[in-house]
């Protein structure tokens, strides 16, 4: 692929790619949160995580609705991102309830920050829709309370979960790089939106800062 | 338990039992449809079934909301029904996409008919809420089109799916009997609502008729 000086407006192809990746991401999030809800030690925890899952599907519907408005076919728009997202989830399948809670907050939070950054480079209507789709109401409070309780009960949980979070971040970065290497339009959107490599570094810096804030809220080291 | 002449109004205990059973049923339906969506041969089928799942969770929320209005604690109200519903789903876990489609239509349809019948014996507000929660918009058309296509492709599917439906019905009846034997208030609600054994026979007859209509729509023998 070639990176060249772009016109101001992002390409239609890039917007469809962005919405397609995010729509498939939300479908996966639904699927995985619904499955992880089964790991909950209580019925209350299970209903809470099930509700998070249903919210993700509502977001998925909003994103595919926007794709249709733009004249794109949602299934075709999502298909290029199936492999990377499936790989991410296969490599980060939680084996405990706490791992699933940390993934839902730290992993999804970092992905949301990335999409939010890229969404700044597209039209205001799509941007507003994406911001809305990335709302994760109450997830922080839930994760913080579950993790604090678990660490209070057994201090060894802190180290285990910090390692787990590191793995989530590593796999997320790796899959994002695969996707960008494969989708020229998205890469061009990111590079021309950020302006230059300094802009890209700033974007990565902001995502990293917010990740560190989440880890601090959980009381886990990065 | 004893069946005696009841006053007109159903007991608060029976209403909480009915809402609790149904709320847990919806949570399980969410969980299972979300899982079965993975069996879909296409991304379109997967999103369709995922949407069904999210709708079940919205119903679950409406039912637990009503429990709270009535002064009941949703988790406590659902707990007595966990074992029977888990057993039903464990004994009827679909191994193919078609089995999951038939279960979502035939199995859930029969359960919905049963709840609808019993809901006639409670206050109008609870009844309206339950009727609303049992709406399964579009599920019939979806199941009919998937099953017809599968049978057109391979006629042997018809026999296999008819057997599968019979198993679903058998397990559903068996678990319903366990629940009724265990929950006096529900049994009393059913018996006094139906009036007498002839009334109960009529109720069972109506549920059976509707089951046969669904099987006929699918083109499967009962």
- Contact between residue A78 and residue A20 where contact means Cβ atoms under 8 Å apart: yes
Mark yes or no for CB contact A54/B57 under 8 Å: yes
Mark yes or no for CB contact A58/B53 under 8 Å: no
Residues of chain A contacting residue B76, judged by C-beta atoms under 8 Å apart: none
| pLDDT above 90 coverage of chain A, percent | 79
DSSP one-letter code for A71: T
Residue B204: CB atoms within 10 Å: 14
Taking the alpha carbons at both ends of chain B, their separation in whole angstroms is: 34
Q: What's the whole-number mean pLDDT along residues B136-148?
A: 89
pLDDT, tens digit, 9 for 90 and up, residues B97-134: 999 999 999 999 999 999 999 999 999 999 999 999 99
B214 against A5, higher pLDDT = B214
Residues of chain A contacting residue B20, judged by C-beta atoms under 8 Å apart: none
pLDDT confidence of residue A8: 59
- Contact between residue A25 and residue A59 where contact means Cβ atoms under 8 Å apart: no
* Gap between the Cα atoms of B175 and B161, Å rounded: 21
Closest by Cβ to B54, choosing from A37, A58, A82 = A58
ipTM, two decimals: 0.76
Residues of chain B contacting residue A78, judged by C-beta atoms under 8 Å apart: 43
Q: Does A140 touch chain B (CB under 8 A)?
A: no
Q: If we measure between CA atoms, which residue out of A105, A104, A126, A125 comes closest to residue A115?
A: A126
Q: What's the whole-number mean pLDDT along residues B193-211?
A: 90
| Residue whose tokens read 């009393």 | B188
Rg (alpha carbons) of chain B, rounded to whole number? 18
Residue B203 C-alpha, separation from nearest chain A C-alpha, in angstroms: 32
Residue B70 C-alpha, separation from nearest chain A C-alpha, in angstroms: 19
Mean pLDDT, consecutive 10-residue stretches, chain A (222 aa), reads 56 94 95 93 93 93 96 96 94 95 94 93 94 84 94 96 95 90 90 88 92 96 90
Residues 53-72 of A with CB under 8 A from B: 53-54, 57-58, 60-61, 64
Residues 94-113 of B with CB under 8 A from A: none
Mark yes or no for CB contact B31/A51 under 8 Å: no
pLDDT, tens digit, 9 for 90 and up, residues B41-58: 999 999 999 999 999 999
pLDDT confidence of residue B81: 95
Residue A200: CB atoms within 10 Å: 15
Q: Determine the residue of chain A that is closest to B86 in CA distance.
A: A38
Mark yes or no for CB contact B79/A43 under 8 Å: yes
Closest by Cβ to A27, choosing from B50, B58, B74 = B50
Q: Determine the residue of chain B that is closest to A74 in CA distance.
A: B44
Q: Does B92 touch chain A (CB under 8 A)?
A: no
* Gap between the Cα atoms of B45 and A189, Å rounded: 31
Closest by Cβ to B31, choosing from A38, A51, A58 = A38
Closest by Cβ to A31, choosing from B50, B60, B79 = B50
Mean pLDDT of all residues belonging to chain A: 91
Residues of chain B contacting residue A53, judged by C-beta atoms under 8 Å apart: 30, 34, 54, 57
Q: Determine the residue of chain B that is closest to A51 in CA distance.
A: B57
For residue A138, what are the contacts with CB-CB under 8 A and spacing of at least 6? none
pLDDT, tens digit, 9 for 90 and up, residues B148-157: 999 999 999 9
Residues of chain A contacting residue B31, judged by C-beta atoms under 8 Å apart: 34, 37-38, 50
Closest by Cβ to A43, choosing from B37, B61, B75 = B75
Mark yes or no for CB contact B27/A47 under 8 Å: yes
B8 pLDDT tier (thresholds 50, 70, 90):
low
Q: Determine the residue of chain A that is closest to B43 in CA distance.
A: A75
Sign of CA dihedral A53, A57, A58, A59: positive
pLDDT, tens digit, 9 for 90 and up, residues A88-142: 999 999 999 999 999 999 999 999 999 999 999 999 999 999 999 998 777 889 9
Q: Which one of A38, A54, A89 makes the best mutation probe of the B interface by having the most chain B beta carbons within 10 Å? A: A54
């Amino acid at each position: 692929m070639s990176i060249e000086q772009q016109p101001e407006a992002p390409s239609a192809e890039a917007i469809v790619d962005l919405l397609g990746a995010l729509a498939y991401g939300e479908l996966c999030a639904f699927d995985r949160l619904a499955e992880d809800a089964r790991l909950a030690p209580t019925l209350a925890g299970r209903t809470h995580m099930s509700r998070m899952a249903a919210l993700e599907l509502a977001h998925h519907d909003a994103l595919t609705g926007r794709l249709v408005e733009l004249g794109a076919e949602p299934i075709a728009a999502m298909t290029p991102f199936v492999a990377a997202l499936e790989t991410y989830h296969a490599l980060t399948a939680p084996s405990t309830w706490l791992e699933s809670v940390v993934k839902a907050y730290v992993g999804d939070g970092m992905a949301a920050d990335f999409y939010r950054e890229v969404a700044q480079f597209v039209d205001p209507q799509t941007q507003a829709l994406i911001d809305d789709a990335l709302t994760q109401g109450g997830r922080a409070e839930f994760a913080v309370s579950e993790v604090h309780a678990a660490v209070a009960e057994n201090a060894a949980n802190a180290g285990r979960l910090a390692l787990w979070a590191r793995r989530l971040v590593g796999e997320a970065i790796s899959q994002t790089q695969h996707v960008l290497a494969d989708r020229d339009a998205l890469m061009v959107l990111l590079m021309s939106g950020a302006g230059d490599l300094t802009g890209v570094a700033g974007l990565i810096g902001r995502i990293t800062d917010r990740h560190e804030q989440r880890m601090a809220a959980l009381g886990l080291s990065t």
